Chains A and B, each alone.
Chain A
Amino acid sequence: MRIAWKHFPLDFHAKAPLAHLASAAANEQGKFWPFHDKVFGAQAKMDKDAYLQYARDLGLDVKRFEDALNTGRGKAAIDADVAEAKGLGVTGTPAFFVNGKFLSGAKPFSEFATAINAELTRLKIPIPAAAQQAAAGGAPTAGG
């Protein structure tokens, strides 16, 4: 399974554009997800200084990171994601597409399991017992 991040900064989130640019700058250096986790881990601090600190913490080339931020290098990719989201009719976040099938909002884990299992069935891939249990509403188990 692969999870792909698509930027969709909502218009009314004033601090979102810079955060998305910073994550794109981290992505340049292959550290998107660790950066993503840092931003989500400290929602209160969403300014340039915090992002530069995260870049230092993650061992990034801070000069390159800052340059990407200052010149808005990731903006084209972000704008493309936003345009794609709007083209798909997405209006809010988070919005998930499981193999192209839309799941809106923060859904319970079981709904993801159901959607994933349906895809596995369609692709004739055996479904692990734990995944069947998860789709039935059970909590995900270790090793499942």
Chain B
Amino acid sequence: MSRRRDNSEGPAMRPSGAGWPQLVSLAGLAVVLFFSIQNWNETRKLQTTLGERFGAVDSRLTQLATKVDQAVRQAPPPQRGPDPNKVYQVRTDSAPSEGPKTAPIVIAEFSDFQ
């Protein structure tokens, strides 16, 4: 307890020195607080902008996907050669052929040697 008393003698020194460190640390705290708040604000702003951007990108992607789907649906099925439901005119008069000229069935064969 006697030590405490010793310390309690300190206040006599206060006006000259003990106030400054406290002030400085208070100021430091204020600065830190200020920057944290600012930082937090910036982060929030950034998050909002990013959120908006992602939203925009997302909706654009959805639009694109619908367009692609529509295009795929509207596109005609890939044509693989002549239409098997059609009747084509194939010139066979001068082609090398086997069988009577007046045959009711004529098969034209497009082919190659190899």
Given known pairs A2-B97, A95-B81, A98-B107, the reply for A16 and B113 (CB within 8 Å) is yes
Distance between Cα atoms of A120 and B81 in the complex (Å) = 25
Asked whether B105 lies within 8 Å of A6 as measured between CB atoms, the reply is no
**A93 close to chain B: CB less than 8 A:** yes
CA distance A13 to B84 in the complex (A): 26
Count residues on chain B whose CB falls below 8 Å from chain A CBs: 33
Q: How far is the CA of A112 from the CA of B83 in the complex (A)?
A: 17
Per the bound structure, the CA–CA distance linking A94 and B109 in Å amounts to 7
Question: Is B5's CB within 8 Å of the partner chain A?
Answer: no
Q: Say which one of B26-34, B46-54, B65-73, B86-94 lies at the interface with A.
A: B86-94
Interface residues of B (CB under 8 A from A): 79-84, 86-92, 94-101, 103-114
Q: Interface residues, chain A, CB within 8 Å of chain B?
A: 1-10, 13, 15-16, 19-20, 23, 27, 32-33, 36, 39-40, 43, 46, 77, 81, 84-85, 88-104, 112, 116, 119-120, 123, 125
4 cross-chain pairs, A with B, having the tightest CB-CB distances, nearest first: A2-B99, A32-B96, A19-B113, A4-B92
